Amino acid sequence: MPAINLALELDKIIDKERIKAVFQPICNISTHQIHGFEALSRGPEHSPLFSPVPLFKTAAYEGRLSELENLCRRISIQQFKNTQLPGKLFLNISPKALLEPNHAKGLTLSLVQELGLQPSQVVIELSEQYPADDIDLLKSCLNHYRSQGFLTAIDDLGAGYSGLRLWSELAPDYVKIDRHFIESIDTSSVKQEFVRSIIALCQNLSCKVIAEGIETQAELAVLKQLGIIYCQGFLLGRPKTSPDRHIPFSPILDPVSPRVRFAESAESLCTKAITCQFDSKLKLIGDIFNQHPNLQAIVVMRNDAVIGMVLRSQVIELFSTPYGRALHEHRAVNEVITAELIRIEADMPISQVSLRLTDDSTDLVVQQFIILKHGQLLGIGHTKDLLAKITEQKIAVARHANPLTGLAGNIPIQEELQRLRLQKKPFYLAYFDLSHFKPYNDIYGFCRGDEVIMEVSRLLQRQQSSDNFIGHVGGDDFVIISTSTEITQQAEQVIADFETNKSLFYSKKHWQEKQMLAEDRKGVHCYHELISLSAGILPPEITINCNEHQLSLYSAKAKKQAKQASNSLSLFQLETSHVA
């Protein structure tokens, strides 16, 4: 179709408002809930401008981009409201349209308010694929949206021209990682490092990361392991006019609770809850609060099911007005309860509890939350106790952590071994050690040696899970204490990854020669092999009955065995040594 016909087609689409909005879910894979939906626009079916790329390119060429975007935005907001979709609405805006002189200011706010939505439900999503030359003006425009109560996001981070500058100067609420870095991330260590870096930066900048373009279970599994919470892609839901409101089943997202230690779970925060039935009178509730001066909340039940919570402050407010007690004390408690509760399963890690309480999907600032076990009321948790527990954990970790790697040191390692022995849980002890590390330190210096130590630490932390406890004994010695039968494969992966990366630590000469000239421990100059990583593994049949001294002896034997093995890995046996 000639270009002039595309212009006529565009005129018909805009004049007759022949735009259809479709919505793709953005999922919180931590809570297994929908966080929001991204609105996408389509032209008429069977039209050459059906797809968004030719549609918006033609509009930009014809100078009608702002006009088209305003139309798409209005239709998206109306349809989002009409279909009553949960969560936040993500609206795309290109900088080119935002900075056009004829761009209508205040249109989005008026549309949102007319339909009874809150600006905090809407995220203005700025695509980096369409760069803006005037970043100061762009910042001014987005600050205008922010001042009206809207949230902001940068789309396609990593695909555009100046991602980090745009990010640092616009300070968005969300950053969406370009799908290039998500595609096949399960097979690319470079992409994994990119995503890990973005997550670390976002934690410091109070910004949420969204991974988009997820299409396979393997990609999703790696993203979850890296710490990504918000995800989007065909695997989780395709764009539809009436999208699914629930996340589809996935083995990766199976809500079977992770196995966490009691001290790290919500159950450790649980206190006994005082309950009442939904038809209890407020007079009784007031009496209970008077009898318990420190009690701040009572859990309201309908038989055995939690239906809400009544707060001390609510009752005081009702009774403190003129004739308040006489007017309200005979009312049933279910007339005044707070029904919008935060419900936490007892075995949820406290790190996830913290994320749940600060999730933007709720506007609640909670002081108390409900703790359930298998769906039944266990008790009540207090935010102040959660903060105290997190602070206590951080102090304990900092006090006993290795100063170089930040991994757990010898005291936490011994505590973990003691815990497993007391609980009579079978476990593996994998002991990792670097061979030929001293001559490397002598030639390259301690700073470069520390880089090698940090690389081993980084590779081990990739295997972090609720089944694995990772510790740094000291120097170039590390351990993984694991209840997983997959520890041998995990150790193999760590060793293989180290071999892949270790060329980075050598000069071209040493790497080509595969040896270095340095003094040995007796001060004699001789050639040394390049550093290598080995792992000796003690199986449960050995560790279950060992004391600390015996574990130390067997670990030394397993380590020696591993250094002699062709693949640097040894599964130690008491009677006859077996090399894996």
Higher pLDDT, 256 or 198: 198
Where does the pLDDT of residue 123 fall: very low under 50, low under 70, confident under 90, or very high at 90 and above? Answer: very high
Question: Across residues 400-424, what is the average pLDDT?
Answer: 83
Handedness of CA 288, 289, 294, 300 (dihedral sign): positive
Most confident of 222-226, 279-283, 440-444: 279-283
Residue carrying structure tokens 């792992």: 535
Torsion angle, alpha carbons of 344, 350, 352, 354, to 10: 90
Query: Which two three-digit tokens encode residue 213?
Result: 């373009």
- Predicted confidence at residue 338, as pLDDT, reads 81
DSSP code at position 408: B
Q: Which of 162-166, 356-360, 363-367, 470-474 has the lowest mean pLDDT?
A: 162-166
> In percent, how much of the chain has pLDDT > 70?
88
For Cα atoms 490, 496, 497, give the angle at the middle one, nearest 5 degrees. 90
Q: Is 442 helix (H, G, I), strand (E, B) or coil?
A: helix
Question: Across residues 407-414, what is the average pLDDT?
Answer: 86
Where does the pLDDT of residue 253 fall: very low under 50, low under 70, confident under 90, or very high at 90 and above? Answer: low
> In percent, how much of the chain has pLDDT > 90?
38
Q: For 50-67, how does the pLDDT look when each residue is reduced to its tens digit (9 = 90+)?
A: 998 899 889 888 888 888
Q: For 4-13, how does the pLDDT look when each residue is reduced to its tens digit (9 = 90+)?
A: 588 899 999 9
Query: Which two three-digit tokens encode residue 264?
Result: 């790290």
Count Cα neighbours of 212 within 13 Å in the Cβ-side half-sphere.
23
Mean of pLDDT over the chain: 84
Q: What residues are paired with 311 via a beta bridge?
A: 297
Do residues 159 and 129 make contact, with C-beta atoms less than 8 angstroms apart?
yes
Handedness of CA 76, 80, 81, 83 (dihedral sign): positive
Q: Is residue 1's pLDDT more than 50?
A: no
Q: Is residue 477's pLDDT more than 90?
A: yes
Q: How far is CA 476 from the centre of its chain?
A: 30
Query: Which two three-digit tokens encode residue 156?
Result: 């396609």
Q: Whole-prediction pTM value?
A: 0.49
Q: For 397-408, how does the pLDDT look when each residue is reduced to its tens digit (9 = 90+)?
A: 667 788 888 888
Q: How far is CA 143 from the centre of its chain?
A: 27
Q: Is residue 315's pLDDT more than 90?
A: yes
For Cα atoms 45, 216, 467, give the angle at the middle one, nearest 5 degrees. 150
Q: Which residues contact 158 (CB under 8 A, 6 or more apart)?
A: 177, 178, 180, 181, 194
Q: How far apart are CA 37 and CA 20, in angstroms?
A: 15
Taking domain 402-571, whether its CATH number is 3.40.50.300 is answered by no
Q: How far apart are CA 479 and CA 309, in angstroms?
A: 46
Cβ neighbours, 10 Å, residue 432? 27
Query: Which two three-digit tokens encode residue 349?
Result: 């890690």
DSSP code at position 274: P
Torsion angle, alpha carbons of 563, 567, 572, 577, to 10: -90
Higher pLDDT, 151 or 352: 151
Rg of the chain's alpha carbons, rounded to an integer? 30
Query: Which two three-digit tokens encode residue 403?
Result: 């100063």
- Predicted confidence at residue 256, as pLDDT, reads 41
Task: Specify the CATH number of the domain 262-388.
Answer: 3.10.580.10
Task: Please state which CATH class domain 16-231 belongs to.
Answer: alpha beta
- Predicted confidence at residue 104, as pLDDT, reads 66
Query: Which two three-digit tokens encode residue 282?
Result: 């407020």
Q: Is residue 36's pLDDT more than 80?
A: yes
- How would you write 320-348 as a 3-class SS string? CCCCHHHHHCCCEHHHCCECCCCEEECCC
Q: For 490-537, how does the pLDDT look when each residue is reduced to its tens digit (9 = 90+)?
A: 999 999 999 998 888 899 999 999 998 877 667 788 888 999 999 999
Q: Is residue 164's pLDDT more than 50?
A: yes
Query: Which two three-digit tokens encode residue 269?
Result: 């925060």
- Which sequence spans correspond to the domains of the chain? 16-231, 262-388, 402-571
Q: Is residue 252's pLDDT more than 80?
A: no
DSSP 154-217: EEEETTSS-HHHHHHHH--SEEEE-GGGTTTGGG-HHHHHHHHHHHHHHHHHT-EEEE----SH
- Predicted confidence at residue 131, as pLDDT, reads 54
Q: Is residue 254's pLDDT more than 60?
A: no
Higher pLDDT, 189 or 112: 112
Q: For 70-112, how does the pLDDT look when each residue is reduced to its tens digit (9 = 90+)?
A: 899 999 999 999 999 999 999 988 877 766 666 667 788 888 9
**Strand bridging mode 33-42 / 88-93:** parallel
Question: Across residues 429-435, what is the average pLDDT?
Answer: 94
